[in-house]
Chains A and B, each alone.
Chain A
């Protein structure tokens, strides 16, 4: 029995499944700049995995590697027990990895409902011809997916703005709509890029609650980036800490908190 398949009990007694994704010795370069340097870590089923680090540590780059937006020069990505070949982002999405963006990437001209419906695209299998006829299979598919979408809209409490064009919504709600769209894909792994950036305390609390609820209710595996330490420590089961493209810590929030390298990276070290 290999370690990857074993279950894992967290500090607060939650049971976490086997490894669903593993990053092995990932190195990502942009010309001469090394954004990620030889990093390995894994994501287990059903956990909330955080990637933290100061600005410019390479967290977003790491998320982009996982979601296929960047292809690392070295290293391997293993997903569900198989090595993932180089893929384009839309292929990664089709494999069940959904994500949100740090600076919100929504379809501004479309309604909230339509935005969330795009999240279901990977679940819709009818072809152009069937869609053209519309009656029959395409219609059934639309209705089934619409039901799922309504469920998620209810869950995230955005019923009131279902028909509003996204461009008109305030920032906090946009973030929530983006979460809804990602969630609509019923992903195996949900990637959240700074879900709480730019929010006030109340909005942060709301978002934290939603993230926990999503994990609880649907058992969704979540990997998130945040640089607000406080929030991360409360939310996550395990934490990877990055600094200057390197991994400087990996473990439960308590382990990470007492790690000297992490403390140095966050508080700075006196040079004398």
Chain B
């Protein structure tokens, strides 16, 4: 076997792992879009906010420390504790639920029945507000996030592949953990929406508001629930990306990576988000590996979008999206 081919396999696997992370972000989009028809541009910033909150709670940072110090002339920055990661994650989950409640209460409750474009604009506003709010609350420094996830090369795979190909694959433990967690998350979400009472209410709202009201479903409750779940998904994505590359502004840009994933998979399909993420992840890594050197590299920046554009031409509803039929 040629070296090129073996390296290709390694790239393929690394692409799969990257794809899982894209899928995780895309999943947050799909959840909200399905249940409320809102394309939530703020999903990426939500991941940033969640990750920053998690770091803040773990390290005992005082929220709004800068603001407090400016107003009262004090010099307080930290509570001086270090919290267990699991407890901090649960607390951050609570913060995301609170966030969902506020967003629903303050913004989207007043925009029910508005045009999609208006809802979209509202989420853009939300995104920039949340970004500033996150900086104000937890300061804008680049923070290290370590919740105890394993990192670094997986030696077992390295050794195993070395014995077969005479070349050890480099696969990061963090990516493997991320894949497992993402898979569990998707399974849990699917089971929840298929079999639980609230899941059924969620699907009902996604399908027909009026009918949902008539069977006793509170739209408000469902929307808060969906935003909470999306917030939780953002938290998981934030943990993964934050562990990988630090909690910083660029984290919010992963939302832009999720766009082509959504175009590919369809805006309304959970499996679509997964498959779309994997295709984009693998596609861009393989493309960079095979074609990249010929065109001077850096193809990862645009490949996903070109792929998505091609998809838009042939299948505008995405791989798994609902078919758009307009009857006249």
Where the two chains meet, the residues of A that have a C-beta atom closer than 8 Å to any C-beta of B are: 67, 69, 88-91, 93-94, 98-99, 101, 105-110, 114, 117-119, 121-122, 124, 126, 128, 131-132, 134, 138, 141-142, 181-182, 185
Contact = CB atoms under 8 A, between A and B. Distances in A.
A122 B211 contact: no
Contact of B196 (A101, A106, A132, A182): A132
A106 B208 contact: yes
B215 A181 contact: yes
Given A131-B197, A132-B192, A105 B210 contact: yes
B321 to A, nearest CB: 12
B104 interface: no
Contacts of A132: 192, 196
B284 to A, nearest CB: 32
Interface residues of B, number: 25
24 contacts: A88-B218, A90-B212, A90-B213, A90-B217, A93-B216, A98-B214, A106-B208, A107-B203, A107-B207, A107-B211, A108-B208, A117-B200, A118-B215, A118-B217, A121-B200, A126-B197, A128-B198, A128-B225, A131-B199, A132-B192, A138-B196, A142-B197, A181-B215, A185-B216
By Cβ-Cβ distance, the 8 closest A-B pairs, closest first, are A93-B216, A105-B211, A107-B207, A122-B216, A89-B213, A131-B196, A124-B197, A94-B216
Nearest to A89: B213
Contact of A98 (B201, B208, B215, B322): B215
B207 A109 contact: yes
B195 A134 contact: yes
B204 interface: yes
A185 B195 contact: no
Contacts, number: 87
Nearest to B196: A131
A121 B211 contact: no
B30 to A, nearest CB: 14
Q: Is the interface of B mostly helix, strand, loop or mixed?
A: helix
A89 B198 contact: no
Contact of B215 (A122, A126, A131): A122
A222 B203 CA distance: 28
Interface of B: 192, 195-201, 203-204, 206-208, 210-219, 225, 322
Contacts of A105: 208, 210-211, 214
Nearest to B222: A90
A185 B217 CA distance: 12
A185 B207 CA distance: 19
Q: Which of A106, A107, A110, A185 has the most CB of B within 10 A?
A: A107
A108 B211 CA distance: 11
Contacts of B211: 101, 105-107
Given A93-B215, A182-B214, 20 more contacts: A69-B213, A89-B214, A93-B214, A93-B216, A106-B208, A106-B211, A107-B203, A107-B204, A107-B207, A108-B208, A109-B203, A109-B206, A117-B200, A118-B200, A118-B201, A121-B197, A122-B216, A131-B196, A131-B199, A181-B215
A121 B217 contact: yes
A90 B216 contact: yes
Contacts of B213: 69, 88-90, 93
A107 B212 CA distance: 8
A108 B216 CA distance: 18
Contacts of A141: 197
A128 B199 CA distance: 10
A105 to B, nearest CB: 4
A121 B192 contact: no
A101 B213 CA distance: 12
A114 B215 contact: no
Contacts of A108: 207-208
B201 A121 contact: yes
A69 B208 CA distance: 15
Contacts of A134: 195-196
A215 B186 CA distance: 44
B97 to A, nearest CB: 11
Nearest to B213: A89
B117 to A, nearest CB: 24
B192 A114 contact: no
A89 B204 CA distance: 15
A121 B215 contact: yes
B213 to A, nearest CB: 4
